Amino acid sequence: MSIFASVPQAPADPILGLVGRFKACTAEKKVNLSVGAYRTAEGKPWILPSVAEAEKMVISDTKLDKEYQPIDGKAEYKRPVQELIFDADVIDSGCLATVQALSGTGSLQCIAQFLKFMGVTKVWGPNPTWGNHPKIFQRALLEYDMYPYWHQESRGLDFEGMIAGMQKMNEGDCILLHSVAHNPTGVDPTPEQWQTIVQVCKERRLIPLLDNAYQGYASGDLAKDGYAQKLFTHSGLEFFIAQSFAKNFGLYGERIGYIHVKCASKDAADAVLSQMKIIVRQAYSSPPQHGAAIVNKILTTPALKEMWLKELTFMSSRISDMRTALRGAIEAKGTPGTWNHVTDQIGMFTFTGLTKDQVVRMVEEFHIYMTADGRISMAGLNPGNVDYVAESIDKAVRGL
């Protein structure tokens, strides 16, 4: 008998499992709206031209080697990525503890372990949120609970419910917030609502953790997408940011991201960094170099940075165009319900509002692969499939 006989078969990851089903599907018409990755108008993966050019420069740079990086990443790589979020005076103050990590998921995992080390016992996340969020914090042996976020009737933000939920949180609890382009709903607070959220965090003495997965990718404007982070920075609060470069640089497979901890002083930041390095050392010793070198080359080469900023605008505009096309196609069919939420939402995902039964039909009958909560990746839409998706939604809603 195997020593592993008592190990049960784990269920497939709900999103990656859908990808596998899509690839195995033999239907003539099939659409993958499950995975959160940019696709071209032809439905193909896209290496950003700025990334391709930077990679050539990195590979040909004779000064680079394949030695271990420092535990927290190269010091000279930190300021350019900090500047995407923070003003120069904040960076110069030394109050930031910055650590290169394994994209967004790895950043969150290290932060979760650090929260546990700090003595934090509970993390609150929005309902709904990215499916991996609860598991990350629970793996760190933190209690995880949810505050209201999605309002089904309006297909928008339940702001009153959110604030009421925050008022119930205890001092020292951590609140997880999506800094822009909330996943899965695509619904963000307004600037005025963000101001209230920051104020309640101060009043309740909460520890904010901002998951920054889509800055620049959501609207094409780094500053606009960085509003919440800037607001927290100037609030006087100490907080965490998990910064991912998967989406906005298209570096999904390179696993490149950063942790930023905004501290009250340089002494506090130095202490935080020293402890964060221990977590990294025990987890994976040191971060990968290649993706970090590509990002640094783009951010420190003016021509490449200008190219990258234009590519952000291009990607966000294509997704916005698909929102307009999908809404128009659905409304043209007179599909029951309101569909303004398709264009009101922002970022990679749309929370369609389809029921679980309707989603089952979309997947099983129409071969349109989407998550069970009705979330679709707008990047999977293109001029060649948007009408078919709208037609299928219409049939699912009408029960035809």
Got the DSSP string for 257-278?
EEEEEE-SSHHHHHHHHHHHHH
Active site residue 124: no
Q: Are 353 and 166 in contact (CB under 8 A)?
A: no
Q: Locate tokens 């499916």: which residue?
A: 131
Phi, psi of 300 (to 5 degrees): -110, 5
Active-site hit among 188, 211, 225, 262? 211
Q: 8 to each of 4, 5, 11, 20, 28, how far by Cα in Å?
A: 9, 8, 9, 21, 35
**Of all helices (H) and strands (E), which one includes residue 281?**
helix 266-283
Active site residue 247: yes
> Who contacts 292 (Cβ-Cβ below 8 Å, separation ≥6)?
69, 73, 74, 77, 100, 256
Which residues make Cβ contacts (< 8 Å) with residue 372, sequence separation at least 6? 14, 356, 359
Which residues, listed in sequence order, are joined to residue 126 by a DSSP beta bridge?
A: 147
CA angle 222, 189, 246 (to 5 degrees): 40
Catalytic residue among 247, 262, 308, 339: 247
Active-site residue flag, 130: yes
Query: Which of the residues 130, 194, 308, 339 is marked catalytic?
Result: 130
Task: List residues with catalytic annotation.
Answer: 130, 211, 247
